[in-house]
Each structure stands twice: as structure tokens, then as C-alpha cells.
Amino acid sequence: MSSGMTGDLLAAQIPRLRRYARALTRSAQAADDLVQDCLERAWRKAHRWEPGTDLRAWLFTLMHNVHINGLRRRRPDTEPMDDADYPDLRVQAADTPLHMRDLERAVAELPAEQREVLMLVCLEDMTYEQVAAVLGIPIGTVMSRLHRARERLRRYLAGERKPPLRRVK
């Protein structure tokens, strides 16, 4: 194996991966499973990573694939699955301020594709170009997803507590 991948390189990325995974799944257990799947895949594909290139982008791309595959696979055995079905463990924390709980609840209602874009931009501070590369979508799609995500959260926080009507795609 001539790949330059090392445990230290990966370890340095774990906190970020966990933060992103937590935001995507909103369950600590599901998030860590996702991170672990991503890391296992990273080891398996270590030879494809070129040392010196952006490891974070590479890992987030892997995680995106793992996450999306997971969502796809889950489809057959559930009724049209709402992301809100995930146990929302953090919401129960009594010391979470009210508006945070609102925000988390609103995030839970975002479609997965919008949530990914929003989190890469807001948590990871990725440029729109980086987000487009990680998710494999055009930059215009990044912008429209970002916009829809933010508008949804904004409306929700502005007092529309009732979940918005499901948009027909």
C-alpha cells in the first residue's frame, strides 16, 4: 500500500465528521454509525486519496455517499420516510434554550438534500464550489437548496410552528 493515509490524518477529521453527521441524523448513535461507516470506507479506498489534496472534502464526499445510500436503502421497508421519525435525542435536554429546540425541530423537517447543503455551508464554512464538488451537484442547485433551507427555517422560526405542507417534487 503506497497510500499516504494515516490514522492521525483521519483522526484529525473525526470531530468535524461527527458534528456534520449529528446534524444530518440528529441521533448520536446513528451519527456515529455513519462516521464509522465513512471511516471504514476511507480505509478501503485510501489508495484513491492523493496525499496533499483536500482530505476533508474527500471524507465529506464519502460520508455523503454513505448517507444517501443509507437513506435510499431504507426506503423499501418504511412508508415514505420522514426524517422526523428519527429519535430526536438532543431535544429532550432540559437545558436547551427554547429557540434552539425550535431550530432543531425545524432542521428535522428539512429534506435531507437541503440539510446537507445548509450544514456544509454553515458548520463547515465550505465555499459553494466546495459544497457542489462534495455533493456532486451544480452550483446553481447548491444555491437553490441553500435558499430553500434557509427560507424554511426562517418561516418556521418566525412563528409558523405548524410543519409546512409537503412540497410536491
Partner 1 sequence: MKDQLPSEIADLHAYVDDQLSPESRRRVEEWLASRPEAKRQAADYALIREGLRGLYDPVLEEPVPPGMLRRESRNRWLRPLAAMAAGAMLLLGGIWFGVYLERGSGSLLAGVPDTVREAAMAYAVYAPEVRHPVEVPGDQEEHLVAWLSKRVGMPVRAPRLDSAGYRLLGGRLLASNDGPGALLMYENREGKRVVLYACASEEGARDTAFRFAKEEGVSVYYWSEAGLSYALAGEIGRAGLLELTQAAYRQIAI
Residues of the shown chain interacting with partner 1 in the complex, contacts defined by CB under 8 A? 7, 10-11, 14-16, 18-19, 22-23, 32-33, 35-36, 39-40, 43, 69, 72-73, 75-77, 90, 99-100, 103-104, 107, 118-119, 121-123, 125, 127-128, 140-141, 143-144, 146-147, 150, 153-154, 157-158, 169
Q: Which of 117, 130, 94 is nearest to 24 (CA)?
A: 117
- Which residue, 56 or 150, has its beta carbon nearer to partner 1? 150
Please state the closest distance from residue 74 (CB atom) to partner 1, in A.
9
Q: Indicate the helix (H) or strand (E) that contains 77.
A: none
- Which residue, 14 or 57, has its beta carbon nearer to partner 1? 14
- Which residue, 99 or 162, has its beta carbon nearer to partner 1? 99
Cα(119)–Cα(121) distance, integer angstroms: 5
- Which residue, 72 or 162, has its beta carbon nearer to partner 1? 72
Count of CB atoms within 10 A of residue 63's CB? 24
Instruction: Judge whether 31 and 21 are in contact, CB under 8 Å.
Output: yes
Q: Which residues contact 49 (CB under 8 A, 6 or more apart)?
A: 3, 4, 5, 42, 55, 58
Please state the closest distance from residue 77 (CB atom) to partner 1, in A.
7
